[in-house]
Amino acid sequence: AGLDGLALTDHDTTAGWAEAAHAARETGLTLVPGMEMSCTSADGVSVHVLSYLHDPEDPALLREVGLARDARLIRAQEMVRRLGADFPITWELVQEHAAENATIGRPHLADALVTIGAVPDRSAAFREILAGRSKYYVPHFAPDPAEAVALIRAAGGVPVFAHPRARMRGRVVGDEVFEQMAEAGLAGVEVEHRDNPAEERTWLRAFADRHGLFVTGSSDYHGTGKPNPIGEHTTGAEVLAEIERQGTGTAIIRG
């Protein structure tokens, strides 16, 4: 299919790194180990920060990610309880849609809603039932985005702001949060992503240029439950080289 490599950035976990590294070596692909860190701004907006090549054993980062994982689990359980009042959905059904050691979140709830026929697909579940404005939605603890950037840097990682203008998912942060993240050590911005509107990508590129940040692209593939195909958006070889130059916590795997 022409794919040269990919990054593995599961939410708030590195549990899949070893399996992915083995698969990369078997298939000859390049693997960038990473993680997608769940964050929340001061005004309650969900933010995702990608961390590439950090030390997976860094104590400070592990502690913060562990707190976020625990909070997401409690949140998911409460959302299932609320959903259960109107839909035939159970915690056991949600667990069937999550891989072992996965951080259970709204995507798994969405897949369960698809299974019971409440919605046709995961996108509809987020749009109609699981969005932040929904009565079923429950907020959860997550670190401040700028603090996450600093933690990732301290762990030898390369922090990138994921799908920063994904308005279709809900509220997005204002310019001041971008500035705070840049000041904390942000390395790049994920511009080429299906959820960033075209007009917003122009602003994002200008922001990256102004702060000397690199620009990435990503399919944000989440399995067959989302329409995003692998390789829909890609990152240039020169940017990968810069990520490798900056990352000191772990190494890129080359098959």
In a shared domain, residues 80 and 20: no
CATH number for the domain that contains residue 84 = 1.10.150.650
The model's pTM: 0.89
The total domain count for the chain is 2
In a shared domain, residues 89 and 42: no
In a shared domain, residues 232 and 249: yes
DSSP class per residue in 111-156: HHHHHTTSSSSHHHHIIIIISTTSTT--------HHHHHHHHHHTT
**pLDDT, position 1:** 61
Domain-terminating residue out of 130, 155, 170? 130
Residue 137 in domain = no
- pLDDT string in tens for the chain (255-residue length): 688 999 999 999 999 999 999 999 999 999 999 999 999 999 988 899 999 999 999 999 999 999 999 999 999 999 999 999 999 999 999 999 998 878 899 999 999 999 999 999 998 999 999 988 899 999 889 999 999 999 999 999 999 999 998 876 778 889 999 999 999 999 999 999 888 888 889 999 999 999 999 999 998 887 766 777 888 888 999 999 999 999 999 999 998
Q: Which domain holds residue 118?
A: 75-130
